[in-house]
Amino acid sequence: MNPLPTSSLRPTHRTETRAFALVALSAIAWVVAYSAILPLAEWLTYDVIRLSRGSHLGESVAFFLYDVPKILLLLSGMIFVITVIQSFFSPERTRAVLSGKREGVGNVLAAALGVLTPFCSCSAVPLFIGFVKAGIPLGVTFSFLTAAPLVNEVALVMLFGTFGWQVAALYAFTGVTIAVISGVVIGKTRPERFVEPFVFQVGASGAQTVQSPEAQLTWSERFATAWQTTRDIVGKVWPFIVVGIGIGAGIHGFVPQDALAGILGREAWWSVPAGVLLGVPLYSNAAGIVPVAQALVSKGAALGAVLAFMMAVVGLSLPEMIILRRVLKPRLLATFVVVVATGIIFTGYLFNWVLR
């Protein structure tokens, strides 16, 4: 196979230096902007719009004006960094790492790589077939396919921005754990029986793989891709964030403290499964859900129910189920949903129990 003729476009040493300088300058601008948000929001609320301090409306408006730019800045900065890290991983390389791994170790590796490998659920089918063709056990493939959407980078940043790093870390850790366990459990059910037969018959030409591009990328190319991805993602989710924070701000200002403890609190055992059931049909609104969730939690709702809801939104989304139906028979798809949902519900209770 001919290598891709990219050498003519290779950036020189100078463009590399320029790219680093640009990123460094942006980082400085980011820090300056971030530290200016709070004084700016207060000045706008209390001096420009002249709302009185301590009033319901004033608190809500100040919260909104502070939180929207804060979350958007956090999201842009962190998605950029995450995408640069992800540019060192690719599905092709992940497949190479996973092929020949046994179940167990393979599941853990697959779940971890599922978080780090850039992945779009629209590619779930080619990825599934490609993994199966490479001889990766189905259980290991499922660990990857569970972790990739479940530990969602937007959700991770939103949790970090609204609840702090402990909750974000717990989310990532439990997400990976659910993926490992789900893959192991599914691997035990002899899932091969319930995979659509065409998957195993797909032509074994195999000779045509593109050279995986991640190894030879320059830094300026990684930055350019990361910038593009950041713009795509932020461009897509910002309306949800604004609406979500708007609703959250309203709740903060107007709903009395602990009003929700009875309905969505830890004592209501059904709040976690209800969160999962509500989450499945929703999709891509994780960004908008988190600020609302934070407001609900501050009024006495249980964090576990809220997180279970969010995990169900991203990890068991209906569109992805429809895509996976192309390669999985209904029975295996149902097993997948039940196993992952059980894991999420368990996590919800764990959160309720750990964080009080």
Contact residues toward another protein (CB under 8 A) are 4-6, 8-9, 90-92, 95, 118-120, 122-123, 125-127, 129-130, 133, 198, 201-203, 205-206, 208-210, 213, 225, 326-327
Backbone angles phi, psi at 190, to 5 degrees: 50, 60
Count the residues in the chain: 356
Identity (one letter) of the amino acid at 156? L
Closest to another protein by CB, 121 or 174: 121
CB of 57 to another protein, least distance (A): 40
Q: Are 256 and 299 in contact (CB under 8 A)?
A: yes
Closest to another protein by CB, 18 or 188: 18
Q: Are 10 and 218 in contact (CB under 8 A)?
A: yes
Closest to another protein by CB, 154 or 168: 154
Burial environment of residue 28 by CB neighbours within 10 A (0 to 12, 13 to 18, 19 or more):
exposed
Rounded Cα–Cα distance for residues 352 and 37 (Å): 32
CB of 289 to another protein, least distance (A): 22
Rounded Cα–Cα distance for residues 66 and 177 (Å): 34
Rounded Cα–Cα distance for residues 32 and 13 (Å): 29
Closest to another protein by CB, 17 or 209: 209
CB of 198 to another protein, least distance (A): 5
CB of 130 to another protein, least distance (A): 4
Closest to another protein by CB, 5 or 54: 5
CB of 4 to another protein, least distance (A): 7
> What do you get for the CA distance between the two ends of the chain, in Å?
58
Burial environment of residue 201 by CB neighbours within 10 A (0 to 12, 13 to 18, 19 or more):
exposed
CB of 119 to another protein, least distance (A): 8
Closest to another protein by CB, 32 or 210: 210
